[in-house]
Structure 1
Amino acid sequence: MSDNESYELLGFDNVLLPVGDLDEAVTFYGRAGFGVAFRLDEAGIALLKVGKETPGLLLRMEEALGQRPPEWASPRVWLEVRDARAAGRALEAAGVQPLDAPFSVATGWTVEFADPWGNVIGLTDYSKRPELGRG
């Protein structure tokens, strides 16, 4: 881009997560509380809903991707919830094991879980800084 060209970031489109099995991934994320906005098996993708926003988590089939544990170097996607500690209890009740107990962050609490392919999702609240949250 030249010095006189610029652009404005308008917001997120989708966050793409590679998965090794689309059916297994949709089932896993369903247990974690994610609804499916749409699924295109012929393209190997499924879009998971995140709140009332149009962007979501896009699961993309990668046939060569085997299951693997999460690594700290893995990207993490954190999503806002009203109560992260309650979300952690709900995940466990649904058979989705959090990576650790909910932990304190500057704005509130966060609980993280990983899918079978090592993608890490954090559920975080703004209980310490409600003025920064969505409500």
Structure 2
Amino acid sequence: MADSKRPRVVGFNHVALEVGDIEEALVFYGQLFEFELRGKSANMAFIDLGDQFIALQKGRKQAPDDGRHFGLVVDDKEAARQALKAAGVEMLPGPFLDFRDPWGNRVEIVGYDNIQFTKAPNVLRGMRLERLTKNENARKELAEKGMAVE
């Protein structure tokens, strides 16, 4: 059998998150995070994340998520913690900053300084985030992949 070339995954375009109501989801996430609304219809809303986005989709029917989750990267993890607290959102036990939204979607909050990916300078400029930095561990992980950052 001949080897066929397989495409390499290079990133995420978006994540579709099922919610019960689009307007309620925009209010909920809007009290936690600053975001740009790309577009909206009766059954969908699109929140920009720089060069990616989250699609909020009406129609959540399944039970709350436990292990299944997605991670949102923020510029200030402590500010996210305070926003969650101020909104009365219960944080889940464990070593991470995890919570469930009102529809049972499990979300993990991760600080940009502590992750091993980086946004291109033009994307950071477009997001007005040129001053974001990486901690030593993240810089080391990036350097090991040939992606050193200043």
TM-score w.r.t. the length of structure 2 is 0.65
Residue 73 of structure 2 contacts residue 109 of structure 2 at CA under 8 Å; is this kept in 1? Answer: yes
Bigger Rg over Cα: 2
Aligned to 1:107: none
Residue 59 (str. 1) matches residue 49 (str. 2) = no
Match of 1:90 in 2: 83
CA 8–55 in structure 1, closer or farther in 2 if over 3 Å, else same:
same
Name the SS for the 1:89 alignment partner.
helix
> What's the TM-score, normalizing by structure 1?
0.71
| Aligned-residue RMSD, C-alpha | 2.8
* Structure number with higher helix proportion: 2
Query: Which structure 1 residue ranges, 5 or more long, are not aligned?
Result: 104-109
Q: How many residues align?
A: 120
SS in 1 for 2:108: strand
Q: Which has the higher contact order (CA 8 A, sep 6+)?
A: 1
Q: Deviations over 1:68-124 (max 9, x none)?
A: 5x3324x211122344344212221233332247x3xxxxxx311211111111111
Aligned-pair identity in percent equals 29
Q: Structure 1 pair 89/128, CA: closer, same or farther in 2 (3 Å)?
A: farther
User: CA 1:113 to 1:72, structure 2 compared with 1: closer, same or farther past 3 Å?
Assistant: same
Opposite residue 72 of structure 2, the aligned amino acid is: L
Structure 2 segments unaligned to the other structure (5+ residues):
115-134, 143-148
2:66 is matched with which residue? 72
Is residue 99 of structure 1 aligned with residue 92 of structure 2?
A: yes
**SS, match of residue 60 in structure 1:** strand
